[in-house]
Amino acid sequence: MDILNFFDFTDPLVVMFTIDLVIALILGFLIGGERELRGKDAGISTHTFVIVGAMLFTFLSMVVDPDSKSRIAAQIVTGIGFLGAGIILKDGAKIKNLTTASSIWFAGAIGMAIGFDYHEIAIIAALASIGIPRIPHVRSRVIDNDNKKVDLADTKETLQFNDD
């Protein structure tokens, strides 16, 4: 069986799907690569699977039932939220992997944008997701009674503020 004759690469649906798949693979690789460079567990494979999976569900929902596109989209959001919730860990007073869970959820939204043919929005969102972890963190600092700087993230004391 000749594989090239099996697919009709001139079919507009196949062309649209191929374009969506290539964009999803590239964006998944870029976002996942950024996460791996920062030493995070959810990297290229995870983000690529999430983006391509969300794109595929969205693409198929548009093709199979164009009158009810949002129904499957809502399920994608819920499903990826469940996946992200499983990644979040609580270790004493600290909560870990919130950014990773958020990036997976965000990747799903990018995949949905691709599936709905909003390629430009998906690309801009992917670039934003690569830049967001690079935003410097702002930590609240206060001066204590001994005129020393105290990082609120490192103290377990409860601060009380007076409105005087």
pLDDT at 161: 43
Which comes out higher in pLDDT, residue 138 or 35? 35
pLDDT in tens, 1-15: 566 667 777 889 999
Which residues share a beta bridge with 153? none
pLDDT in tens, 21-30: 999 999 999 9
**pTM, to two decimals:** 0.77
Closest among 159, 132, 154 to 144, alpha carbons compared: 159
Task: Return the domain boundaries, the chain.
Answer: 8-137
Closest among 55, 62, 90, 98 to 76, alpha carbons compared: 55
Which comes out higher in pLDDT, residue 124 or 42? 124
Task: Quote the distance between the C-alpha of residue 129 and its chain's center.
Answer: 7
Reported as half-sphere exposure (CB side, CA atoms, 13 A), residue 112 has a value of: 18
